[in-house]
Amino acid sequence: MRILEVRQPQEVAHLMQEIGVDPYGIKLMVLKAQSYLLRINGLPCIAANIIKQEMLSVGADAALSKGALTGGKIKKTDCLLFGTLAQLNRLCEKLSKQPFGLQNVSQELELSLNNYKKDNFIFCCADKKLVLGKKPRIMGIVNLTTDSFSGDGVLQVTGDRARLPLAGRGTVEKAVAKAQQMVKEGADIIDVGGESSRPGAKSITLKEELNRVIPVIAALVNKIKVPISIDTYKPEIAKAALNSGAVIINDIAGLRNPKMRKVAANFKAGVVMMHMKGNPGNMQKLASYSSLIDELISYFKKAFCNAIEAGVSKESIIIDPGIGFAKSTEHNLEVLKHLREIKILGLPILVGTSRKSFIGKILGALPEERIFGTVASSVVACMYGASIVRVHDVGAVSQALKVSSAITD
């Protein structure tokens, strides 16, 4: 006898094929092998009690507040649902015929389950398409900054030299060589940034940022075949970068600026919308949440609706929970532990843990000593639902992901 460890429905189907189960039976029983725990907040007690009765009727169960069950004074309750996919599908069907707002609950539950199960995406960015989900993808970081927290900035110098145009100092060639090496090591996207977003970082002028990033992007277009991303929250920089050959906007501000949404829509660019409170200068003072994962989901729902309304295609949107941005070490670990829950949005997820301070606090290590921590957290992120990881050390992470994928596939 064995207790089997299975991670995907396909594994269950394969096991049933091995023992000769009828194909129609396989289709039905796969749904019974997938168990879910869902939470619905703020349901009217009468609606919650109907849900509990319907869950019991399909062989599942629901947990409510004691006051909701005993006729207490409370008017609303949170609700936990325990059931297989088959049972939850039957619940959706039953709730679709019920009053008290339960038809809306049915629709949201059905959409959430479908989104959660989705692993494969086609990411559209201008004239390029990237298949996500079949294997973890890597975004390589090219920092054209003087003050990168990770110490890897191509312009890691001080004084007036950092403000001179790039072309005369060999910096373009250095950045191109770095990007080419990353692609050789396994990078699927190259992310070019000219302004540091580390905690407490100060903004630089548009002219300075343009001088840093545009010559490099223009040179990279003819040197690498993978998509180029511009790491900026400024619409003017994004527009110039897209005109120079970039096809993705990586925006730490989550497309909050309507002008940025317009730029993304006009160029049909891919976008990475990150979660952050405030700005890099004050974000760590705002690292307080009543429910971090709920806030992330709410934030991305609003950001997604704003982007779609502005004309950005759903197939062009990736979300990033913003590790290290307005989050403590405990918050960062919570995001990684519960990353799968964000899949309820039905959008590909990018995670950037590379060399960040929470790794340093765990290991007691300087940024340049955090490679192993970066590798470990990147592998975990992909196992928990990330489609892309954004890293400095492409070679090490690429090797680790190949091994972890071979084990989990």
Structure tokens at 37: 């725990």
How many whole angstroms separate alpha carbon 261 and alpha carbon 255? 6
- Identify whether the C-beta of residue 270 lies closer than 8 Å to the C-beta of residue 316: yes
- Identify whether the C-beta of residue 39 lies closer than 8 Å to the C-beta of residue 80: yes
Res. 183: pLDDT tops 60: yes
CATH code 3.20.20.20 for 121-408: yes
Query: Can you give the pLDDT at residue 167?
Result: 43
Sheet containing 248-251: order of strands: 317-320, 270-274, 248-251, 228-231, 189-193, 137-143, 388-391, 350-351
Confidence of residue 280 (pLDDT cuts 50, 70, 90): confident
Residues 6+ apart with CB under 8 A from 41: 78, 294
Q: In one letter, which amino acid is 232?
A: T
Rounded to an integer, the average pLDDT of 11-24 is 86
Rounded to an integer, the average pLDDT of 128-145 is 95
- Identify whether the C-beta of residue 55 lies closer than 8 Å to the C-beta of residue 61: yes
Residue 48 is classified by DSSP as: H
Please confirm, yes or no, whether 390 is among the known catalytic residues: yes
- Identify whether the C-beta of residue 364 lies closer than 8 Å to the C-beta of residue 375: no
Rounded to an integer, the average pLDDT of 190-208 is 88
- Identify whether the C-beta of residue 318 lies closer than 8 Å to the C-beta of residue 272: yes
Catalytic residue among 52, 212, 327, 356: 356
Res. 168: pLDDT tops 70: no
Main-chain phi, psi angles of 236, to 5 degrees: -65, -40
Rounded to an integer, the average pLDDT of 256-271 is 98
Res. 7: pLDDT tops 80: no
3-state SS class at 350: strand
Q: Which residue has the tokens 């069907």?
A: 93
139 vs 166, higher pLDDT = 139
Query: Can you give the pLDDT at residue 159?
Result: 42
Per the prediction, the chain carries an average pLDDT of 91
Query: Can you give the pLDDT at residue 127?
Result: 92
The enclosing H or E element of 229 equals strand 228-231
Res. 386: pLDDT tops 60: yes
Query: Can you give the pLDDT at residue 32?
Result: 84
Q: Domain 34-117 has what CATH class?
A: alpha beta
How many whole angstroms separate alpha carbon 60 and alpha carbon 98? 18
Catalytic residue among 234, 239, 261, 390: 390
Query: Can you give the pLDDT at residue 8?
Result: 78
The enclosing H or E element of 250 equals strand 248-251
Res. 320: pLDDT tops 70: yes
How many whole angstroms separate alpha carbon 214 and alpha carbon 168? 14
Please confirm, yes or no, whether 356 is among the known catalytic residues: yes
Domain-by-domain residue ranges, the chain?
A: 34-117, 121-408
Query: Can you give the pLDDT at residue 201?
Result: 73
- Identify whether the C-beta of residue 171 lies closer than 8 Å to the C-beta of residue 192: no
Structure tokens at 12: 């269950």
Confidence of residue 73 (pLDDT cuts 50, 70, 90): confident
Query: Can you give the pLDDT at residue 348?
Result: 98
